[in-house]
Amino acid sequence: MADLNSLTSSAYNQALEVIASVEPRIAAATKAELADQRSSLKLIASENYASPAVLLTMGTWFSDKYAEGTVGHRFYAGCQNVDTVESLAAEHARELFGAEYAYVQPHSGIDANLVAFWSILAHRIEGPWLQAAEKKNVNELTDEDWEKLRRELGNQRLLGMSLDAGGHLTHGFRPNISGKMFHQQQYGTDPATGLLDYDAVAAKAREFKPLVLVAGYSAYPRRVNFATMREIADEVGATLMVDMAHFSGLVAGKVFTGDEDPVPHAHIVTSTTHKSLRGPRGGFVLATEEYAPSVDRGCPMVLGGPLSHVMAAKAVAFAEARQESFRAYAQKVADNAQSLADGFLKRDATLVTGGTDNHLVLLDVSSFGLTGRQAESALLDAGVVTNRNSVPADTNGAWYTSGIRLGTPALTTRGFGHDEFDSVAELIVHVLSNTEPGTTKAGGPSKASYSLAEGVADKVKGASAEMLDKHPLYPGLDLA
């Protein structure tokens, strides 16, 4: 087989030369980004490193093609190759997740959720409305009827996980459109354990009677029982939508099976492709046959022309995720999260829910006397890239926060294992134990400024460099 590393090297060197001939500063920034990613401990739970095959697939002339519509039914001419790409991506997604139907056009996770929301509204509200009015589509409605339907569509209820319990802003958070287009309520976690309390979710669902029950999370470090969530949805007549953006890699890699696999239980599943799934930046929707026709109308409902070059890269990423090696990777992501959590617990750090059983750990940094913002900044000084995150009932609000969210997908892709993640926990505790909160100009306690003891950043960078050198990112890819 050709040496893929040297092929990749020459592909990127030549591509960068072409880019530099037009705008050298972009070529330089692209090189700098690789250098930065190579030399830092990337622990952002929503990030990963896509393969060169996935990355290269995005840089082609498919970017130039308009293809509004669906496979074989486009509003533009000359879409035969896009049809090939979209069919393949959807087929791989269906096979990978055992789904009845896959829609691979959403540009991002937020778009996938918008497609899902409007599909549910179209299927549950608009469809029956038109049927009762004996109309084929909305264009046949009188202005008066159209206003009534619009009011009905805007009068529906959604129940999702609250942001500080680990939900996502698209799950009914007021500043997001999901919190504006629906009457929304949120379920949280048990204040004593930090764990999802299914009885409390059921009680809230019975009282609120949502049209949409959303399950899934961005910062909840535990698995969810989707069979139970479906029972709750069925009891109140809700559509169960699961947003698996964060953990779709663990579903694809069969770490989450049975009741923890959302696909057999949810009516609609949404996801990103770029987090634990390790694909290009994008989104997709899986659905049952019942919801497929409305999901299929993502364009023109809320999407315009699909990103054909990204759909091609999704097909490549799904094909990678169907390989046996991806299962081993996904299992390692979960094992490494366990090692990271154990590493913190044995050093007396506080974790939300007391641990993890997925790919992420939520460290409560208030026991170090810090806000999430101070901890995030001090860690970044030491070359450890994390993001601050609210913890349940956070007293520091969503901007400063009291937590740091850490995930294992990216460093697992580099080959980090148990010992390295234990060392990562040690380095993080070392940084945070040597960080002092600062004061405001007026002399009061600051939530943003901090001081990191001298020498700590260099020491941590040195220890990280040893691990990073042992597990190089894109080995063999040498930029000129």
Selection from 86, 29, 48, 27 nearest residue 277 by Cα:
48
Stretch of residues binding ligand PLP (CB under 6 A), selected from 147-155, 179-187, 193-201, 241-249: 241-249
Residue 31 and residue 77: Cα distance in Å, rounded? 38
Under rule CB under 6 A, which residues in 133-172 are in contact with ligand PLP? 168, 170
Q: Among candidates 326, 319, 477, 466, which has minimal Cα distance to 409?
A: 326
Stretch that binds ligand PLP, among 89-97, 238-246, 307-315, 344-352 (CB under 6 A): 238-246
Of 170 and 184, which has the nearer Cβ to ligand PLP? Answer: 170
Tell the smallest beta-carbon distance from residue 223 to ligand PLP (Å).
Answer: 15
Helical packing angle, 418-433 and 456-470, nearest 10°: 170
CB of 271 to ligand PLP, least distance (A): 8
Stretch that binds ligand PLP, among 88-96, 103-111, 180-188, 193-201 (CB under 6 A): 103-111
Q: Which stretch in 97-105, 243-251, 319-327, 389-397 sits in contact with ligand PLP by CB under 6 A?
A: 243-251
CB 232 within 8 A of CB 198: yes
Q: Quote the Cα angle for 140-146-147, to 5°.
A: 165
Residue 174 CA to residue 163 CA, distance in Å, equals 10
- Cα distance between residue 235 and residue 159, in whole Å: 14
SS3 assignment, position 130: helix
Compute φ and ψ for 167, nearest 5 degrees. -70, 180
Q: Which amino acid, residue 468?
A: L
Binding mask 268-287 for ligand PLP (x = CB under 6 A): ----x----------x----
- State in angstroms the smallest separation of the CB of 170 from ligand PLP: 5
The residue sitting closest to ligand PLP, measured at its beta carbon, is 109
Distance of closest approach, residue 163 Cβ to ligand PLP, in angstroms: 11
CB closer to ligand PLP out of 51 and 273:
273
Are the C-beta atoms of 129 and 149 separated by less than 8 Å?
A: yes
Question: DSSP character for 64?
Answer: G
- Nearest CB to ligand PLP, comparing residues 170 and 408: 170
Interface with ligand PLP, residue 243, by CB under 6 A:
yes
Q: Is 106 in the site for ligand PLP (CB under 6 A)?
A: no
Q: Distance of CA 101 to CAs 95, 207, 287, 315, Å? A: 10, 32, 5, 15
Say which residues have a Cβ less than 8 Å from residue 428's Cβ, sequence separation at least 6. 344, 363, 379, 384, 386, 404, 406
Phi-psi region of 127 (alpha: psi -120 to 50; beta: other; left: phi over 0): alpha
Cα 116 to Cα 259: distance, rounded to the nearest angstrom: 22
Q: Is 262 in the site for ligand PLP (CB under 6 A)?
A: no
176 in contact with ligand PLP (CB under 6 A): no
Closest to ligand PLP by CB, 246 vs 461, is 246
Site string for ligand PLP, 30-69 (x = CB under 6 A): ----------------x-----------------------
Size of the site for ligand PLP (CB under 6 A): 14
Asked if 218 touches ligand PLP (CB under 6 A), the answer is yes
Piece of the chain touching ligand PLP by CB under 6 A; list 7-15, 107-115, 301-309, 399-407: 107-115
Closest approach, Cβ 107 to ligand PLP, in A, equals 8
* Cα-Cα-Cα-Cα dihedral sign, residues 394, 395, 398, 399: negative
Which residue of 90, 93, 212, 245 would you call a contact of ligand PLP, by CB under 6 A? 245
Q: Residues 50, 54, 89, 110: which binds ligand PLP (CB under 6 A)?
A: 110
Q: Which is nearer to ligand PLP, 167 or 383 (CB)?
A: 167
Which residues are at the interface with ligand PLP (CB under 6 A)? 46, 108-110, 113, 168, 170, 216, 218, 243, 245-246, 272, 283
